[in-house]
Chain A
Amino acid sequence: GAVVSQHPSWVICKSGTSVKIECRSLDFQATTMFWYRQFPKQSLMLMATSNEGSKATYEQGVEKDKFLINHASLTLSTLTVTSAHPEDSSFYICSATRVWGSGLSDTQYFGPGTRLTVL
């Protein structure tokens, strides 16, 4: 159990276009989903916290108008990189935590990541 998927696994786009990345919890309901970004040989940097049905909470320095997050259901969150530029090229990873009260911990379960390359 606790499988999280991401789609697409990799994407190449032209500068100025928008890219949508989906994060799904396949076998559990996720109260909260997180979006991270990882640069080569660096740590995972939290971008935003997404709760189902409410606005995402963005970390300091992350542009909310550039990285649009929608968490429409307990199993799906999307990250849209708007007007992408080469500096947005990175590895984007989502994670999800189970619905509280299920007797399980709030451990975050990660998706496989999406490699975005902006030309």
Chain B
Amino acid sequence: DQQVKQNSPSLSVQEGRISILNCDYTNSMFDYFLWYKKYPAEGPTFLISISSIKDKNEDGRFTVFLNKSAKHLSLHIVPSQPGDSAVYFCAASTIKPASKGTYKYIFGTGTRLKVLA
């Protein structure tokens, strides 16, 4: 049972344009979501997160949108750069920021982004 899904295994975008990566989840208990970027043979690098009390969080070129009613989140990268080419994983958790305890993440299957120069 895949609780976190990334239905697009790959995405190609022209340099300078917007990249939109999507993620869907099924468990309504999830209240903290994250995006990670991963290069081959390396560990994931944290990009941006959002808690369920928000619907948008922005950090530089990266913006994450959360639609709780649709159980959907997306990562927007604008403008896209060739260095953004990597696999992007979304992750979901039941932890609330700044609360005690650490809970496990459930990862999606990843979307391979290729930014074309």
CA distance A73 to B92 in the complex (A): 27
CA distance A97 to B49 in the complex (A): 14
Considering the complex, give the chain A residue whose CB is closest to the CB of B102. Answer: A32
Residue from the list B42, B46, B104 in contact with A113, Cβ < 8 A: B42
* Binary interface encoding of chain B residues 34-66 relative to chain A, with 1 for a CB under 8 A from any of its CBs, else 0: 101000011111100100000000000000000
A43 near B46: Cβ-Cβ < 8 Å: no
A110 near B97: Cβ-Cβ < 8 Å: no
Chain A residues near B49 (CB-CB < 8 A): 105, 107
Chain A residues near B41 (CB-CB < 8 A): 91, 113, 115
A108 beta carbon closer than 8 Å to chain B: yes
Nearest Cβ on chain B to A106's Cβ, whole angstroms: 5
B34 near A44: Cβ-Cβ < 8 Å: no
A28 beta carbon closer than 8 Å to chain B: no
| Chain A interface helix/strand/loop/mixed | strand
Chain B residues near A97 (CB-CB < 8 A): 102
A34 and B104 in contact, given A43-B109, A43-B110, A105-B98 (Cβ under 8 angstroms): yes
CA distance A18 to B42 in the complex (A): 23
A110 and B102 in contact, given A43-B89, A43-B109 (Cβ under 8 angstroms): no
| Chain B interface helix/strand/loop/mixed | loop
A43 and B43 in contact, given A107-B34, A110-B36 (Cβ under 8 angstroms): no
Residue from the list B100, B102, B105, B109 in contact with A42, Cβ < 8 A: B109
A113 near B109: Cβ-Cβ < 8 Å: no
Chain A residues near B97 (CB-CB < 8 A): 105-106
B25 beta carbon closer than 8 Å to chain A: no
26 pairs of residues in contact across A and B, judged by CB atoms under 8 Å: A4-B43, A6-B43, A32-B102, A34-B105, A42-B109, A43-B108, A44-B107, A46-B105, A46-B107, A49-B102, A49-B104, A91-B41, A95-B43, A97-B102, A100-B101, A100-B102, A105-B49, A106-B97, A107-B46, A107-B49, A108-B46, A108-B105, A109-B46, A110-B44, A112-B43, A113-B43
